Protein backbone atom coordinates (compact mmCIF):
# COMPACT_ATOMS: atom_id res chain seq x y z
CA UNK A 1 0.00 0.00 0.00
CA UNK A 2 1.60 3.25 -1.13
CA UNK A 3 0.78 6.67 -2.67
CA UNK A 4 -2.93 7.42 -3.14
CA UNK A 5 -4.19 4.41 -1.20
CA UNK A 6 -1.98 5.30 1.76
CA UNK A 7 -3.08 8.94 1.71
CA UNK A 8 -6.75 8.01 1.98
CA UNK A 9 -5.99 5.54 4.78
CA UNK A 10 -4.44 8.31 6.88
CA UNK A 11 -7.63 10.37 7.18
CA UNK A 12 -8.61 9.03 10.62
CA UNK A 13 -5.58 7.30 12.09
CA UNK A 14 -6.55 5.61 15.36
CA UNK A 15 -3.81 4.84 17.89
CA UNK A 16 -4.74 2.28 20.53
CA UNK A 17 -4.50 2.77 24.27
CA UNK A 18 -5.59 0.11 26.74
CA UNK A 19 -5.58 2.53 29.69
CA UNK A 20 -9.35 2.96 29.58
CA UNK A 21 -10.35 -0.67 29.11
CA UNK A 22 -12.84 -1.95 31.69
CA UNK A 23 -13.24 1.43 33.40
CA UNK A 24 -16.97 1.90 32.91
CA UNK A 25 -16.48 2.14 29.17
CA UNK A 26 -18.10 0.04 26.50
CA UNK A 27 -15.17 -2.32 25.88
CA UNK A 28 -13.44 -4.85 28.10
CA UNK A 29 -10.81 -5.89 25.55
CA UNK A 30 -8.61 -3.98 23.12
CA UNK A 31 -9.83 -6.17 20.27
CA UNK A 32 -13.41 -5.08 20.95
CA UNK A 33 -12.35 -1.43 21.17
CA UNK A 34 -10.53 -1.68 17.82
CA UNK A 35 -13.53 -3.37 16.24
CA UNK A 36 -15.81 -0.57 17.43
CA UNK A 37 -13.38 2.07 16.12
CA UNK A 38 -13.27 0.43 12.70
CA UNK A 39 -17.06 0.11 12.65
CA UNK A 40 -17.21 3.85 13.38
CA UNK A 41 -14.95 4.72 10.46
CA UNK A 42 -11.30 4.58 11.54
CA UNK A 43 -9.24 4.34 8.35
CA UNK A 44 -6.05 2.96 9.91
CA UNK A 45 -5.13 1.37 13.24
CA UNK A 46 -1.81 1.78 15.02
CA UNK A 47 -1.21 -0.74 17.79
CA UNK A 48 0.68 1.05 20.55
CA UNK A 49 1.81 -0.99 23.55
CA UNK A 50 4.32 0.15 26.15
CA UNK A 51 3.72 -2.22 29.06
CA UNK A 52 3.10 -5.69 27.57
CA UNK A 53 5.71 -8.43 27.42
CA UNK A 54 6.96 -9.38 23.98
CA UNK A 55 4.76 -12.49 23.91
CA UNK A 56 1.69 -10.54 25.04
CA UNK A 57 2.40 -7.86 22.45
CA UNK A 58 2.80 -10.50 19.74
CA UNK A 59 -0.44 -12.25 20.69
CA UNK A 60 -2.30 -8.94 20.77
CA UNK A 61 -0.88 -7.95 17.40
CA UNK A 62 -2.06 -11.16 15.77
CA UNK A 63 -5.52 -10.69 17.30
CA UNK A 64 -5.82 -7.07 16.12
CA UNK A 65 -4.41 -8.00 12.70
CA UNK A 66 -7.22 -10.52 12.20
CA UNK A 67 -9.84 -7.85 12.92
CA UNK A 68 -8.18 -5.27 10.66
CA UNK A 69 -7.74 -7.76 7.83
CA UNK A 70 -11.40 -8.77 7.97
CA UNK A 71 -12.36 -5.10 7.53
CA UNK A 72 -9.56 -4.30 5.04
CA UNK A 73 -8.08 -1.68 7.38
CA UNK A 74 -4.28 -1.25 7.53
CA UNK A 75 -2.55 -2.12 10.81
CA UNK A 76 0.65 -0.35 11.85
CA UNK A 77 2.79 -1.29 14.86
CA UNK A 78 4.19 1.50 17.02
CA UNK A 79 7.98 1.42 17.50
CA UNK A 80 8.48 -2.36 17.53
CA UNK A 81 9.97 -3.37 14.17
CA UNK A 82 10.46 -6.95 15.36
CA UNK A 83 6.76 -7.39 16.14
CA UNK A 84 5.83 -5.77 12.82
CA UNK A 85 8.10 -8.23 11.01
CA UNK A 86 6.86 -11.32 12.87
CA UNK A 87 3.19 -10.50 12.41
CA UNK A 88 3.60 -9.29 8.81
CA UNK A 89 1.35 -6.29 9.34
CA UNK A 90 1.25 -3.32 6.96
CA UNK A 91 4.11 -1.47 8.60
CA UNK A 92 5.58 0.37 11.56
CA UNK A 93 5.70 3.87 12.99
CA UNK A 94 8.97 4.99 14.54
CA UNK A 95 10.08 8.06 16.46
CA UNK A 96 13.25 10.10 16.28
CA UNK A 97 14.83 8.07 19.08
CA UNK A 98 13.72 4.65 17.82
CA UNK A 99 15.42 2.39 15.29
CA UNK A 100 16.98 4.13 12.29
CA UNK A 101 14.61 4.33 9.35
CA UNK A 102 17.08 2.74 6.96
CA UNK A 103 17.55 -0.22 9.32
CA UNK A 104 13.79 -0.63 9.71
CA UNK A 105 13.41 -0.60 5.92
CA UNK A 106 16.11 -3.24 5.58
CA UNK A 107 14.26 -5.50 8.03
CA UNK A 108 10.72 -4.95 6.76
CA UNK A 109 11.31 -4.59 3.02
CA UNK A 110 10.29 -2.07 0.40
CA UNK A 111 6.58 -2.96 0.35
CA UNK A 112 5.88 -2.11 4.01
CA UNK A 113 4.72 1.28 5.29
CA UNK A 114 7.12 3.17 7.54
CA UNK A 115 5.97 6.35 9.25
CA UNK A 116 8.25 8.67 11.19
CA UNK A 117 7.50 11.19 13.93
CA UNK A 118 8.85 14.69 13.22
CA UNK A 119 8.73 18.09 14.85
CA UNK A 120 10.83 20.21 12.50
CA UNK A 121 11.17 20.81 8.77
CA UNK A 122 14.72 19.46 8.92
CA UNK A 123 13.58 16.19 10.49
CA UNK A 124 10.78 15.89 7.94
CA UNK A 125 13.07 16.40 4.95
CA UNK A 126 15.57 13.90 6.33
CA UNK A 127 12.87 11.29 6.94
CA UNK A 128 11.55 11.76 3.40
CA UNK A 129 15.07 11.46 2.00
CA UNK A 130 15.61 8.24 3.96
CA UNK A 131 12.46 6.67 2.52
CA UNK A 132 9.63 7.36 4.97
CA UNK A 133 6.16 6.77 3.51
CA UNK A 134 4.40 9.31 5.72
CA UNK A 135 5.16 11.65 8.63
CA UNK A 136 3.46 12.08 11.99
CA UNK A 137 3.90 15.69 13.11
CA UNK A 138 3.18 16.96 16.60
CA UNK A 139 2.17 17.35 19.24
CA UNK A 140 -0.08 19.94 17.63
CA UNK A 141 -2.02 20.29 20.90
CA UNK A 142 -1.13 19.43 24.49
CA UNK A 143 -1.60 15.74 25.23
CA UNK A 144 -1.67 13.55 28.32
CA UNK A 145 -0.63 10.48 26.32
CA UNK A 146 2.91 11.69 25.70
CA UNK A 147 3.78 14.19 28.41
CA UNK A 148 7.34 14.57 27.07
CA UNK A 149 6.18 15.71 23.62
CA UNK A 150 6.87 19.33 22.70
CA UNK A 151 4.13 21.22 20.92
CA UNK A 152 4.56 21.98 17.23
CA UNK A 153 3.11 25.35 16.12
CA UNK A 154 0.54 25.35 13.34
CA UNK A 155 2.94 27.43 11.24
CA UNK A 156 5.56 24.67 11.47
CA UNK A 157 2.98 22.02 10.58
CA UNK A 158 2.04 23.98 7.47
CA UNK A 159 5.69 24.48 6.54
CA UNK A 160 6.40 20.76 6.87
CA UNK A 161 3.38 19.88 4.72
CA UNK A 162 4.52 22.26 1.98
CA UNK A 163 8.14 21.08 2.16
CA UNK A 164 7.62 17.34 1.58
CA UNK A 165 5.87 15.27 -1.06
CA UNK A 166 4.84 12.44 1.27
CA UNK A 167 1.61 12.71 3.31
CA UNK A 168 1.57 14.20 6.79
CA UNK A 169 -0.64 13.24 9.73
CA UNK A 170 -1.13 15.63 12.64
CA UNK A 171 -0.70 14.03 16.06
CA UNK A 172 -1.16 15.02 19.68
CA UNK A 173 -4.19 16.10 21.69
CA UNK A 174 -6.56 16.16 18.71
CA UNK A 175 -10.28 16.05 19.46
CA UNK A 176 -13.59 16.75 17.80
CA UNK A 177 -13.54 20.19 19.44
CA UNK A 178 -10.13 21.37 18.18
CA UNK A 179 -9.73 19.51 14.89
CA UNK A 180 -11.08 22.43 12.86
CA UNK A 181 -8.00 24.47 13.80
CA UNK A 182 -5.99 22.21 11.48
CA UNK A 183 -8.07 23.03 8.40
CA UNK A 184 -5.93 24.30 5.53
CA UNK A 185 -2.68 23.03 7.03
CA UNK A 186 -2.10 20.54 4.21
CA UNK A 187 -2.35 17.39 6.33
CA UNK A 188 -3.74 14.12 4.99
CA UNK A 189 -5.49 13.35 8.25
CA UNK A 190 -5.37 13.23 12.03
CA UNK A 191 -4.01 10.73 14.51
CA UNK A 192 -6.20 10.33 17.59
CA UNK A 193 -6.05 8.30 20.79
CA UNK A 194 -8.29 9.42 23.65
CA UNK A 195 -10.84 11.03 21.32
CA UNK A 196 -11.64 7.45 20.31
CA UNK A 197 -10.44 4.99 22.93
CA UNK A 198 -11.36 6.99 26.06
CA UNK A 199 -14.96 7.41 24.95
CA UNK A 200 -17.91 5.54 26.39
CA UNK A 201 -19.29 4.95 22.91
CA UNK A 202 -16.25 4.34 20.70
CA UNK A 203 -18.22 3.63 17.56
CA UNK A 204 -20.31 6.81 17.71
CA UNK A 205 -17.34 8.97 18.71
CA UNK A 206 -15.29 7.63 15.81
CA UNK A 207 -18.17 8.22 13.42
CA UNK A 208 -18.33 11.88 14.47
CA UNK A 209 -14.57 12.30 14.06
CA UNK A 210 -14.65 10.68 10.61
CA UNK A 211 -17.46 12.95 9.44
CA UNK A 212 -15.60 16.04 10.62
CA UNK A 213 -12.30 14.90 9.09
CA UNK A 214 -13.93 14.30 5.72
CA UNK A 215 -15.19 17.88 5.69
CA UNK A 216 -11.97 19.46 6.94
CA UNK A 217 -9.42 17.48 4.90
CA UNK A 218 -11.22 16.62 1.64
CA UNK A 219 -8.29 16.93 -0.77
CA UNK A 220 -7.04 13.43 -0.03
CA UNK A 221 -10.39 11.63 -0.10
CA UNK A 222 -11.12 11.62 -3.82
CA UNK A 223 -7.59 11.89 -5.19
146: annotated active-site residue: yes
- Residues whose CB is less than 8 angstroms from the CB of residue 33 and which lie 6 or more positions away in sequence, other chains included: 16, 21, 27, 197, 202
For residue 8, what are the CA distances in angstroms to 11, 23, 139, 157, 190?
6, 33, 22, 19, 11
For residue 3, what are the CA distances in angstroms to 65, 85, 183?
22, 22, 22
117: annotated active-site residue: yes
CA–CA separation, 36 and 29 (whole Å): 11
| Annotated catalytic residue within 117, 185, 194, 212 | 117
CA angle at 44 for the pair 170 and 104, rounded to the nearest 5°: 80
Q: Which of 3, 5, 31 is nearest to 18 (CA)?
A: 31
| Annotated catalytic residue within 7, 48, 65, 210 | 48
Beta-sheet pairing, 113-118 with 134-138: parallel
| Annotated catalytic residue within 18, 82, 85, 146 | 146
Q: Which of 215, 214, 216, 194 is nearest to 205 (CA)?
A: 194
Residues marked as catalytic: 48, 117, 146
Amino acid sequence: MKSVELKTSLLLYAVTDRAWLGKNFCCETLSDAVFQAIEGGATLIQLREKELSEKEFLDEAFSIKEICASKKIPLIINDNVKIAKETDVCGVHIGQSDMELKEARKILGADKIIGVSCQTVEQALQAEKNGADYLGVGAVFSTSTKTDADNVPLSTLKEICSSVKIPVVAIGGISLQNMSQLKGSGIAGVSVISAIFAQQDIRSSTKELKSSAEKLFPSFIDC
